[in-house]
C-alpha cells in the first residue's frame, strides 16, 4: 500500500500565481482587507465628526461621545472659511492652494512628457548621460535646493550684463510664480523617469509607421504618443497633485506672505507651538482633505490603468 499522499484535485497543476490569487480572494483575505480598511478609515471619520461638533464639546470630550450625546453644528466651518479672527478666513488660503496646485501639476507633467519622448525616441548625442543625470537628481534632498533657489528669486540670476531671471518682488503675487517654478523643478526628475520607462514600451512598429507616413516628431508626440500614455500621465498627475496640494515646506519658504500663503502653511500655524486654533483644526483639515479626495475618486480609473500599464506584455 502506498503511503504517499495524493494532492487534492483542486491544486493539481496549480502555479504559484494561481495559489497566491486563490489565497488573496479567500474569505479570510477579504475579511482582513475589510478590517484594515475600517481601521484605516477611523481617524478620518473621527476628524470629520470632530469638525461638526461644537467647540465646547471638542474641548471636553472625545469624538466617540457623539454616539451617546449627539450635537452637530456648522459654525466651525463658517468661522474657518469666512471669519477674520485667528484660524479664520481660510477661503483665501484655499484659493491660493488651488492657484498653486493646478499650474504646479500641469507645467511639470507637460515638460516631463516632452522630455521623456525626446529621451526615449529621439537619438541625439549625450542622451544616455542626460537621462542618468535626470535620474540622479531624484536622490538630491529638496531641502538642499531651498536656499539657492530663494537667493536666486530674491536677487535675480545674472549672466554678465544680461538678466536671465529678473528680480522677483516678494511682497506681491509673484511668490506664487516662485512656488510654481520650485514645484516644477522638484517634480520633473521623477515624472521624466516614469514617463520615459512607459514610452520606451510603446510598439516600435507604430512609431516606424508614423515616420514612414512622413509625420514629424511633434506630430508623432501629439497624435500617437499622448493618446497611448494618457493613463500614465493621469497617474503622474495624481501623484504630483497630492504632493503639491499637501506641500508645506515649499509654500512656506517661497510664499510666506499673508496674501499668498497656501492652506498647509496656515494649518501648520494652527497646530504649531501656540496651538491658537486647535479646536478649529479638524474643520480646517477636513477642508484640505476634500478636494484631493474628489480628484482621486474622479481619476482613479486612469490611476489604476496607469499603474498596471506595461505590467503585462503580449
Q: Tell me the sheet residues that pair with 157.
A: 165
Question: How many angstroms separate the CA atoms of 229 and 232, rounded?
Answer: 5
pLDDT band (50, 70, 90) for residue 312: very low
Beta bridge partner(s), residue 163: 158
CB atoms closer than 10 angstroms to residue 41: 10
pLDDT in tens, 196-232: 888 888 888 888 888 888 888 888 888 888 888 888 8
Q: Phi-psi region for residue 298, left (φ > 0), alpha (ψ -120 to 50) or beta?
A: alpha
> Taking the domains of the chain in order of start, what are their residue ranges?
14-73, 90-308
Across the chain, mean pLDDT equals: 80
Residue 36 CB neighbour total at 10 angstroms: 10
Would you state the cell numbers that stand for residue 143, as one nine-digit string? 531641502
Read out DSSP for 237-260? HHHHHHHHHT--HHHHHH--STTT
The model's pTM is 0.77
pLDDT tens profile 55-102:
888 888 888 888 888 888 888 888 888 887 776 788 988 999 999 999
| pLDDT confidence bin for 107, thresholds 50/70/90 | very high
Instruction: Write out pLDDT tens, residues 265-308.
Output: 888 877 765 666 778 888 888 888 888 888 878 877 766 665 55
User: In this predicted model, what pLDDT tens digit does every residue of 109-138 receive, in sequence order?
Assistant: 999 999 999 998 888 888 889 888 888 888
Q: What is the CA radius of gyration of the chain?
A: 26
* pLDDT for residue 275: 60
CB atoms within 10 A of CB 92: 16
DSSP track, 163-231: EEEPPP-TTSSHHHHHHHHHHHHHHHHHHHHHHHHHHHTS-HHHHHHHHHTT--HHHHIIIIIHHHTHH
pLDDT at 178: 86
pLDDT reading at 251 higher than 50? yes
SS3 letters for 96-122? HHHHHHHHHHHHHHHHHHHHHHHHHHC
- The predicted-structure confidence for 13-42, as pLDDT tens digits, reads as follows 566 766 767 776 778 888 888 899 889 889
Instruction: Specify the residue for cell string 475600517.
Output: 38
For position 241, what pLDDT does the model report? 92
CATH (residue range 90-308): 1.10.3720.10
Specify whether the CB–CB gap between 181 and 164 falls below 8 A: no
263 exposure class (CB count in 10 Å sphere: 0-12, 13-18, 19+): buried
Bigger pLDDT: 42 or 156?
A: 42
Bridge partners, residue 129, by sequence: none
The answer on pLDDT for 173 being more than 70 is no
How high is the pLDDT of residue 75? 86
CA-to-CA distance for 202 and 195, rounded, in angstroms?
Answer: 11
Amino acid at each position: 500500500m502506498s503511503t504517499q499522499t495524493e494532492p487534492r484535485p483542486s491544486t493539481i497543476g496549480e502555479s504559484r500565481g494561481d495559489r497566491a490569487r486563490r489565497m488573496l480572494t479567500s474569505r479570510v483575505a477579504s475579511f482582513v482587507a475589510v478590517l484594515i480598511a475600517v481601521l484605516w478609515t477611523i481617524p478620518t471619520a473621527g476628524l470629520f465628526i470632530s469638525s461638526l461638533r461644537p467647540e465646547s464639546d471638542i474641548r471636553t470630550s472625545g469624538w466617540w461621545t457623539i454616539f451617546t450625546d449627539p450635537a452637530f453644528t456648522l459654525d466651525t466651518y463658517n468661522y474657518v472659511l469666512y471669519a477674520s479672527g485667528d484660524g479664520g478666513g481660510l477661503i483665501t488660503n484655499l484659493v491660493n492652494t488651488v492657484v498653486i496646485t493646478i499650474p504646479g501639476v500641469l507645467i511639470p507633467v507637460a515638460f516631463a512628457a516632452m522630455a521623456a519622448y525626446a529621451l526615449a525616441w529621439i537619438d541625439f548625442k549625450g542622451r544616455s548621460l542626460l537621462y542618468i543625470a535626470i535620474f540622479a537628481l531624484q536622490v538630491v534632498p529638496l531641502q538642499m535646493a531651498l536656499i539657492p533657489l530663494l537667493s536666486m528669486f530674491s536677487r535675480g540670476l545674472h549672466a554678465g550684463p544680461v538678466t536671465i531671471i529678473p528680480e522677483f518682488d516678494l511682497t506681491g503675487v509673484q511668490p506664487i510664480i516662485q512656488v510654481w517654478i520650485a514645484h516644477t523643478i522638484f517634480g520633473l526628475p521623477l515624472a521624466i523617469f516614469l514617463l520615459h520607462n512607459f514610452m520606451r514600451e510603446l510598439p516600435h512598429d507604430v512609431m516606424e509607421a508614423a515616420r514612414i507616413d512622413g509625420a514629424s516628431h511633434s506630430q508623432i508626440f501629439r497624435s500617437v504618443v499622448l493618446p497611448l500614455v494618457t493613463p500614465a500621465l493621469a497617474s503622474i498627475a495624481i501623484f504630483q497633485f497630492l504632493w503639491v496640494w499637501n506641500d508645506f515646506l515649499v509654500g512656506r519658504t517661497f510664499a510666506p506672505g499673508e496674501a499668498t500663503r497656501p492652506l498647509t502653511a496656515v494649518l501648520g500655524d494652527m497646530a504649531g507651538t501656540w496651538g491658537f486654533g486647535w479646536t478649529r483644526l479638524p474643520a480646517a483639515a477636513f477642508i484640505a482633505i476634500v478636494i484631493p479626495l474628489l480628484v482621486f475618486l474622479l481619476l482613479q480609473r486612469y490611476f489604476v490603468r496607469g499603474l498596471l500599464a506595461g505590467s503585462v506584455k503580449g
